Amino acid sequence: MVNKVYHIPQQALEVHSDLNCVTVFMSDCETQIKKLQEREERGPLYGVPVSIKEHVSYQGHPSTCGLAQYLDVLEEEDSVMVKVLKKQGAVVFAKTNVPQTLICFETSNTIYGHTKNPHNTAKGASGSSGGEGALIGGGGSVLGFGTDLAGSIRLPSSFCGIAGFKPTSLRLSMSGVRPCIDGMTAVPLCIGPMAQDVDGLVLVMKALLCDEMFNLDPNVPPISTSMRRSIQEHWMDHVALQEYQAEFIREEWKKLNMDAIICPMLGPAFNIGYPGKLLAAISYTMLYNMLQFPAGVVPVGFVTKEDEKALRHYTGYNNDHWDKCFKKAVADGVGLPLSVQCVALPYQDELCLRLMKEVQTLHMRQMKK
């Protein structure tokens, strides 16, 4: 286990030197390992090195959200997520880069600089969990945690060719995750895993949905999925967004008798500087934040030379400004990963992960042919 834990940070350092994706390496890794070795119980994540997004609290380190004013504000304790990860045997070894204020899908700030894409350094890693996407996509981490308000786990996962999962809102504790804007509740921020494949996502979700998380955060009650769903159906009538969610489920989803859906994902990775010009593109992901549906992305292919040739000859739609800008954003993308998005109803996270696994299995089978 010790060699494995030390090997990953060494790889991460190499990846960081190329992509600028890590904000800090934890100095207490040896202490974490010693505590693990002294324990009689081995959790399901025993010895797994884990990286976390910069604004997830870790004792003794700042959570700046890319803002210099928070550099000297050191966290007094770990977030609930970090506590549960450690309880389950993981070793948290690094924090990763974010955009300034988190409200952008290009990862850059005046403290840590710009994060590049592991497949093509002329491209961005997306955001706001872009540091995580780049680190995992570059092979510097096997498992990490980002947050998602409008696609901030799914966009970097898609751009960097990894698997990422946004759980149902409040399925995992947000206690100790610094918000950029206090009190913003209209579209809830979620924390979720990012990994090199869907198996990693399944492993960590199983490990995290445990008594320890419920004990540490009373806002994540250990009640049945059916009860949570029943409660939600009654109180959603009083809030506009929740009314929209209920109507969508009732009129669209159930009418079509669907279990889950596979839908488009934004990609391939944009050229640096274009995400700020194409903010409307997050509509591919933000819809499911508003609906509070669990959603994840799975890589299913790569941009081919034929795709690039077709793009060069693409004349656009009705002289649309966004169309022209998007064409420039994704140009020169041969070899970049492409993903699809899998979505299920609230609190059917396990079903969503199962669908993601099936998509991944089918893709791997096609790759072997």
User: Which residues have a catalytic role annotated?
Assistant: 53, 128, 152
Q: Which residue from 297, 286, 295 is spatially nearest to 346, judged by alpha carbons?
A: 295
Q: Which residue from 148, 207, 202 is spatially nearest to 174, judged by alpha carbons?
A: 148
In SS3 terms, 23-68 reads as EEECCCHHHHHHHHHHCCCCCCCCCCEEEEECCECCCCCECCCCCH
Distance, in Å, from the CA atom of 85 to the CA atom of 27, rounded to the nearest integer, reads 17
Q: Which residue from 259, 249, 264, 66 is spatially nearest to 154, judged by alpha carbons?
A: 264
Distance, in Å, from the CA atom of 274 to the CA atom of 325, rounded to the nearest integer, reads 8
Please check whether residue 41 is in contact with residue 85, taking contact to mean a CB–CB distance below 8 angstroms.
no
Burial class, 337, CB count within 10 angstroms (exposed 0-12 / middle 13-18 / buried 19+): buried
Find how far residue 284's CA is from the centre of its chain: 15
